Chains A and B, each alone.
Chain A
């Protein structure tokens, strides 16, 4: 095993751990809606939410880093350059996350001053971590970029996938610089904040997961390099073609000019189209391989990624993206429904697939299967679908009663939140959230336990 692949396993372990922490705070956050006096003035909803969404970003990022460190030496035929630095920054990353979490748990808030921004809580969604920690994360990402680029240079070899990855790293790191400023003008603050959030989860991360999936497809299904590279380029073209100006769907209501309603709505409405192409591709692959593979769980999770990405990001997004709808659905549980489904479909499924690839290749088992992964697969998917349906119900009620009828005042918000449909949605979310958590436990157990091999039936794909 390459040294970077050993590092990869450490990143995967940290990622799975933080996935669990994320779920823990997700369950807690959901409980507040049902028991509002829970931990009142001790540990409030906003701190629980911060830990939920920040661990989401970090665990997925760690999954990405792990996946790249796993495949990089195999792609370029040599050990990754600067490994001692990469190994050091892994521990730096973990330490930063731990310290920030402890401060969020026990200090929580500071005064309205620069000290709070530097050391306690910046209070901007997803990037609440204080500035000192943001510096740490920038350092980690710069080292990562150095590892990738230096290895490419030393190997004197570039593949198409590597080119896409390297070029993607530039905006990935650059937009994170918006984690630092505290701009007084909320319109300007949000304008650039969306460059960070949208250009991560709807642009650079899409390209990154595309690169990772290309590498996984070659590995798990034996697809040829020329095919995966062609698809990667098509995907980049379509996803960025729609996604860059699709950023405008966050610029409807923050004080920006009216033309964003047309531009953002139009490009956002195009975003499901490439996702349908991915569904077709996933079914083609499923049929071509007659559902046979060396790694059953990875294969099923990759296919699920394509389907749920289309549904969670495509269908759910399309329902609420046109400005006339969005005016009333914006900032409700409807948004939460879409956000959960899209993140899960676009990224979580793909990262889980990568974890199973690592499991198979570290265990040396020829064909990976078993029963536990199926339970994890079922519970996680049913749990997520149940959660988003509950949130959709609550969100539609909130948009209907709170925004459309009530006009978004405090009383309208209160009335909508006490509406039986809303409350039912919150209970459904809780129930399915517990199911999802159970799925996570099974997933973690399955990843850590001895691999179950299944007998190979018929010809299996060879790695490309």
Chain B
């Protein structure tokens, strides 16, 4: 074949593209199984009934979520259907308030606010916001904060009030708890959990 002939390269372009697309299709089918709810890396929504940790795994060379004992959210164990409803609302909150145009989730979004992947586990809740809001549980402090973030700033760059109702705030907290249980191949790395209880 003459490499000066455009049809040689046209054949190359078509075949390369097709081969890559086929490989991508196979990988996507496999990935969907892993990332669907209940898949290897993404737990079912009722994981919010349990304690969630994040610990370094030496064989994986990455931190991985650790699902622990029962720890119902807001003191109430939910069924899978109830959890799914909460998640649906939580995700709609995140979209309708454009949270990912300030924050990142899994590192995707905007960089004005902190990453929320492990925010459920952030030491700021027990160390800063529980005292500030006067709440006795992490989740109650999160709800109070989300409903009135402008009342509880921690630095000059404060979070604005996005008019969340209490139901929306609770759903968002549930969503953030579930999110922290997703296996993200170790992102974010070195995450500190000092003061991880309550």
A: residues with CB less than 8 A from B are 32-33, 36-37, 40-41, 44-47, 49-50, 109-113, 116-117, 120-125, 128, 160, 164, 182-191, 226, 229-230, 233-234, 236-237, 240-241, 244-245, 247-248, 250-261, 263, 327-328, 330-333, 335-336, 398, 403-414, 417-418
Chain B residues closer than 8 Å to A241, beta-carbon distance: 16-17, 20
Asked if A186 contacts B91 (CB within 8 A), the reply is: yes
- Given A33-B112, A45-B112, A407-B192: A117 touches B41 (CB 8 Å cut-off): no
Bound-state Cα–Cα, A261 to B40, Å? 17
- Given A237-B9, A245-B24: A333 touches B111 (CB 8 Å cut-off): yes
Asked if B16 contacts A263 (CB within 8 A), the reply is: no
Bound-state Cα–Cα, A411 to B118, Å? 13
- Point out the residue from B17, B36, B123, B160 that lies within 8 Å of A185, measured CB to CB: B36
> In angstroms, how far is the closest chain B Cβ from the Cβ of A324?
10
Q: Mark B43-67, 1 if CB is under 8 A from A, else 0.
A: 0000000000000000000000000
Asked if B161 contacts A410 (CB within 8 A), the reply is: no
Chain B residues closer than 8 Å to A258, beta-carbon distance: 185
Bound-state Cα–Cα, A190 to B184, Å? 13
Chain A residues closer than 8 Å to B136, beta-carbon distance: none
Asked if B106 contacts A254 (CB within 8 A), the reply is: yes
- Given A255-B106, A257-B30: A113 touches B96 (CB 8 Å cut-off): yes
Bound-state Cα–Cα, A234 to B107, Å? 34
What are 12 of the A-B contact pairs (CB < 8 Å)? A40-B160, A44-B102, A46-B101, A46-B102, A128-B101, A184-B91, A185-B37, A187-B182, A244-B23, A248-B27, A327-B188, A411-B123
Chain A residues closer than 8 Å to B104, beta-carbon distance: 331
- Given A182-B91, A237-B12, A409-B123: A403 touches B190 (CB 8 Å cut-off): yes
Asked if B94 contacts A123 (CB within 8 A), the reply is: yes
- Point out the residue from B107, B118, B119, B190 that lies within 8 Å of A330, measured CB to CB: B107
Chain A residues closer than 8 Å to B17, beta-carbon distance: 236-237, 240-241, 244
Asked if A256 contacts B34 (CB within 8 A), the reply is: yes
Asked if A49 contacts B158 (CB within 8 A), the reply is: no
How many residues of chain B have a CB within 8 Å of chain A? Answer: 85
Bound-state Cα–Cα, A121 to B99, Å? 11
Bound-state Cα–Cα, A105 to B183, Å? 37
- Given A50-B101, A233-B10: A187 touches B111 (CB 8 Å cut-off): no
> In angstroms, how far is the closest chain A Cβ from the Cβ of B60?
8
Bound-state Cα–Cα, A50 to B99, Å? 11
Residue from B102, B107, B128 having most chain A Cβ neighbours under 10 A: B107
B: residues with CB less than 8 A from A are 4, 6, 9-10, 12-13, 16-17, 20-21, 23-24, 27-28, 30-32, 34-37, 40-42, 84, 87-102, 104-115, 117-119, 122-124, 128, 150, 154-158, 160-163, 165, 168, 171, 179, 182-192
| Known A409-B124, A410-B154; 10 more pairs at CB < 8 Å | A46-B102, A113-B92, A123-B97, A183-B91, A188-B32, A237-B13, A256-B185, A259-B27, A407-B192, A414-B157
Bound-state Cα–Cα, A32 to B106, Å? 23
Of chain B, the residue at the smallest CB distance from A116 is B96
Asked if B97 contacts A125 (CB within 8 A), the reply is: no
Asked if B24 contacts A327 (CB within 8 A), the reply is: no
Chain A residues closer than 8 Å to B115, beta-carbon distance: 331, 408, 413
Chain B residues closer than 8 Å to A41, beta-carbon distance: 150, 160-161
Bound-state Cα–Cα, A124 to B88, Å? 15
> In angstroms, how far is the closest chain B Cβ from the Cβ of A282?
19
Chain A residues closer than 8 Å to B13, beta-carbon distance: 164, 233-234, 236-237, 240
- Given A327-B189, A409-B122, A410-B154: A229 touches B91 (CB 8 Å cut-off): no
Chain A residues closer than 8 Å to B162, beta-carbon distance: 109
Asked if B95 contacts A117 (CB within 8 A), the reply is: yes
Chain A residues closer than 8 Å to B117, beta-carbon distance: 408
- Point out the residue from A184, A331, A403, A404 that lies within 8 Å of B109, measured CB to CB: A331
Asked if B168 contacts A112 (CB within 8 A), the reply is: yes
Bound-state Cα–Cα, A230 to B13, Å? 10
Bound-state Cα–Cα, A121 to B98, Å? 7
Asked if A244 contacts B20 (CB within 8 A), the reply is: yes
Asked if A123 contacts B96 (CB within 8 A), the reply is: yes
Bound-state Cα–Cα, A50 to B25, Å? 31
Chain A residues closer than 8 Å to B40, beta-carbon distance: 257
Q: Which 9 A-B pairs have the closest CB atoms?
A: A331-B107, A408-B188, A46-B101, A253-B187, A233-B9, A123-B95, A407-B190, A112-B92, A244-B20
Bound-state Cα–Cα, A261 to B10, Å? 31
Bound-state Cα–Cα, A411 to B154, Å? 9
Asked if A332 contacts B111 (CB within 8 A), the reply is: yes
Bound-state Cα–Cα, A405 to B188, Å? 12
> In angstroms, how far is the closest chain A Cβ from the Cβ of B173?
13
> In angstroms, how far is the closest chain A Cβ from the Cβ of B87?
5
Asked if A49 contacts B35 (CB within 8 A), the reply is: no
> In angstroms, how far is the closest chain B Cβ from the Cβ of A195?
9
Bound-state Cα–Cα, A313 to B118, Å? 30
Of chain B, the residue at the smallest CB distance from A225 is B6
Residue from B84, B88, B185 having most chain A Cβ neighbours under 10 A: B185
Of chain B, the residue at the smallest CB distance from A252 is B185
- Point out the residue from A40, A121, A332 that lies within 8 Å of B150, measured CB to CB: A40
